[in-house]
Structure 1
Amino acid sequence: MARGDRTDEDRRSHLRPWAALPLAGPGVDRAAERRSEVGLLDHLLHDPATRVLAVREGRFRVSDAGALVLRPPEPDDATRLSVFLGEGEFPGSDGKAAYVGVVDPTAPADDWAGVRSVATTLATADASLVATLTALANWHAAHGFCPRCGAATEPAHAGWLRRCVADDSPHFPRTDPAVIMTVVDDDDRLLLARGRGFTTAGMSVLAGFVEPGESLAAAVAREVHEEVGVSVDQVQYLGDQPWPFPSSLMVGFRAHATSTALSLQDDEIESARWFTRAELVADLEAGVLAISGRLSIARRLIEEWFGGPIAAPEATLRR
């Protein structure tokens, strides 16, 4: 394990750019201006040059080499929920190829892989495609009816909108912002907590959704105080990550604790404690502590404080 014995600037340099986070890197050109083209999806799904990314129940097909499998359109795709994902270079294509996501209920999903298991190994553009289609498929599945009048809604705008069949109101995909933060005290100790839904040894940084009318920094301070009773200042933005489970954006921060006494929110937090780097290493090596896996920005935030990569086994903290 890296031992945090360098300056803060040296310790954090290996973590840049934050865009290297799984799911957070640049993807294909979304070509949003094309979404309003009349008949776009119908045209693309009849073009053998189109690359189709199929999803079923949050699972995708991945090759033995660990690459995302993209296929030409199939006749049945015209009857399936589809989304225009953008354009990009594709081997064997003449210039840019169009990418379309399709929700395929007939796909053998048992033989496919979930996002969490493949996102850290996929190429950056592939991981972005997976994150985008996962979030959009989740949104479509949950918004089949108009929140204004209760009538059915239909996909429109190349899958980036649902329109009410009764009042014609448009409804766009939503992303729920959440803050996630390291909290560090005057002795450079890190605060970790175990949520009620965590596995036995799991602990992580604090996180919570942003409330209406609230700034990101205010959400950091509120969530920390609500969950563990600690007051913070000096809230510093570090990075962000799409989190399509089902439709969040995790915005990462580092905050300075102005108090250290812990008062836990009973219905949310099972336990919490302050760690020095030596204590973190010792507990990880003893197997009495597990921290977030490398898919999540939580792991990057912990390593930003620690000063380098932490050689801890991958862990799933929630059941």
Structure 2
Amino acid sequence: MKAGETPTRELVRDPMAFTDRVTADARDGWPVEAGRYRLVINRACPWAHRVNIVRRLMGLDEAISLAITDPIQEDIDGDAHWVFTEKTGSPGDKDPVLGIHALREAYLARRPDYTGGVSVPGLVDIPTGHLVSNDFAQLTIDFGIEWAALARPGSPVLYPEPLRDEIDALNEVVYRDVNNGVYRSGFAPHQESYDRAVTALFARLDELEERLTGQRYLVGDTITEADIRLFTTLVRFDAVYHGHFKCNIRKLIEYPALWAYARDLFQTPGFGDTTDFDHIRWHYYYVHSAINPTRVVAAGPDPRAWLTPHHRETLGGRPFGDGTPPGPPLEPVPALD
């Protein structure tokens, strides 16, 4: 849906338009190669955030460079929001590596007749300028597995084979009811669709609260894909989803286990250091003018609460298993005051 457009039907996401994979055996024609690809994200977007977290955890910061689009700036025709500006470190309003102003240019370089939507994340082939993939779900899996030869020593196993069925099953319902559920609530075209979405959302959060009361992580005793996918919704919940998307039956901070779990992850390298609350607030409140026509951006909540003690370590578990945390990020976000 375009910015400012009023929803007239329930939110149904279009299938990913570009689903080629970069793999160790180059079976789709795209080989794993350090320095060849550029990951285009927006720090406000939860789907892009999860890919950037995996990139950080696996230590692929130097192998896959990062491009950050402006949180609110529109393209010249007012149709695209994933554009590069000097405000986010792109001289002359063009990405210094790809030489483009809008991510749509990489879509069109790959498929000149493309007329569909543009989304982040986007993995772009630097030599050709072609978009390789905007498949956010597959990108995280591949960054953790296919790029293993270029991963840092001590990188975690985020999708362990013995737990994949459980991770996949949990990811499916979390995506349906939580990750996408907040959007289905926020962009509901009528009361009935809103009621369905928000009821399913909080029923699932209640279940997750119970699950996390007695265990530190969602599946197993280390961080996995499941935790990363839930975190990027939780970290945005009170800041934008609770008010802006009318997901206001409860706040995240009213869930003892979920709130402590989210803080535990936030304080783990790779999570909080890739989170930019200013980008999140400004993008959601400003860009979604159909549901916030005044474009007034909410001031809170105070993000410093994310740094308070969580005590989740008493449940056991090891964030990185037998591995180690990543070093400092190459592209740090502003520190919390």
Q: Is TM-score (shorter-chain normalized) higher than 0.5?
A: no
| Higher percent of residues as strand | 1
| Higher percent of residues as helix | 2
Could you say which structure has the larger radius of gyration?
1
TM-score for both structures, normalised by structure 1: 0.30
TM-score for both structures, normalised by structure 2: 0.29
